[in-house]
Amino acid sequence: MFRISAEPLDPAALQRTLADTHAGACLTFEGWVRDHNEGHPVLALDYEAYAPLAEKEGARILAEARAKFAIRGAVCVHRVGALKLGDLAVWVGVTAAHRGAAFDACRYLIDETKARAPIWKKEHYTDGATLWINCATRGDHADRVKI
């Protein structure tokens, strides 16, 4: 399951959806809102998503992970809305018979989600400035462009 959520995420409830007596490993990843990015102090983040396409692309990413790795269950949920420092922005959980596949698949899911899902992040800085991450162009915070 891949879902965009406007409500806070509940890791314990999400993990319960993966319960499976055939699984010997459960890997979870939590992405948290951090107080800095590339040397700039961050106060808060806004996340925005094109939810229908994000969920379709997310389903494709989950299917790829199932084809590549010997996993049992996989879930990824990403928040949208205004988030504060320390808030949970993304939760990934993977179960597998053995830990190796679970580690590999968890890494694959978060990396591909960050690279491909139509989700955007706006950082609010302590000096009042804001920036859509990865969207700067030449002459416009070019030092902060990450492509």
Contact between 81 and another protein per CB under 8 A: no
Q: Is 105 exposed, middle or buried (0-12, 13-18, 19+ CB in 10 A)?
A: buried
What minimum distance in Å lies between the beta carbon of 97 and another protein?
27
Query: Quick one: which of 18, 26, 65, 90 contacts another protein (CB under 8 A)?
Result: 90
Contact between 47 and another protein per CB under 8 A: yes
* Cα–Cα nearest to 94, from 79, 78, 113, 109: 109
Comparison of 47 and 108: residue with beta carbon closer to another protein: 47
What minimum distance in Å lies between the beta carbon of 114 and another protein?
4
| Beta carbons of 80 and 47 less than 8 angstroms apart | yes
How far apart CA 55 and CA 2 sit, in angstroms, is: 6
User: Rule CB under 8 A: which residues touch another protein?
Assistant: 31, 47-50, 52-54, 56-57, 78, 89-90, 110, 113-122, 132-135, 137, 140, 147
